[in-house]
Amino acid sequence: MLEVRDLHAGYGRGEVLQGVSLDVAPGECVALLGRNGVGRSTLLKAIMGMLPAPARGGRVRYNNEDLLGRATFEIARRGIGYVPEGREVFPHLTVAQNLLLGEPSGRPARDARGKAFDAYALFPALHALRDTRAGVLSGGEQQMLAIARALASRPALLLVDEPTEGLAPAIVHTLARVLDNLRRDGMGILLVEQKMTIALDLAQRVAVMGRGRVVFEGTPQELQRAGSVRAQWLGIQGQTT
């Protein structure tokens, strides 16, 4: 599905990604871990074609098609959804209007069985808020809206950046359940998440980043046993919980 090979990218003259390589398969959640500033968010933006300058080297392929150099809207139309850090909903538009912007050509996207996406079935709390401006929603409601908007185009791969940051435990549980159900339905997910418990519960594989590259890749269980990796690159001593 997604193949990233030896990717070098950054902002202006500053190179943030210094040879990143990873894969995401259909129906797999890959958790991207690391300390702040190691390039996790930059990687998602590079995949989506959102950096101010094109990547300086490497390769990004999605379903055997090269993505580097393509515009963000072209990448999205190929079946990749993106939920940015900070949600970035349109504050002066209603919930319903935000969701409409996520639909290709303003029409509800349909899956292979012809079923249209229903944001309100996925997040029932949004139904009563459909005529409410997004700027007055709580952080959790905005995060649900951001995920629903990204899913409105029926992507096969979802890039999610810090979805649980600053949210109450009940909302965190709801978002984790939704992401896990999407993965079980066959969606690939590349997840940047600071909460280790959530990340390791959702992920089938883990990639740890440090100094602009992947320094460890394996299963959550293998990361649990890799004490030196956790200590050096995550600042965690002992077993993660």
Over residues 54-67, the pLDDT tens digits come to 666 899 999 999 99
The answer to whether the CB of 220 falls within 8 A of the CB of 203 is: yes
pLDDT of residue 56: 67
Encoded tokens for 92: 């002066």
pLDDT of residue 241: 44
pLDDT of residue 179: 95
> Under 8 Å CB-to-CB from 23, ≥6 apart: which residues?
1, 2, 3, 4, 30
Q: What is the CATH superfamily name and number for domain 1-43+51-79+157-163+187-241?
A: P-loop containing nucleotide triphosphate hydrolases (3.40.50.300)
Q: Report phi then psi at 193, rounded to 5.
A: -150, 130
Encoded tokens for 10: 């950054």
pLDDT of residue 188: 97
pLDDT of residue 127: 94
Closest CA to 163 of 184, 177, 181, 183: 177
Q: Which parts of the chain have pLDDT scores under 70? A: 53-56, 104-116, 236-241
Domain spans of the chain? 1-43+51-79+157-163+187-241, 85-155
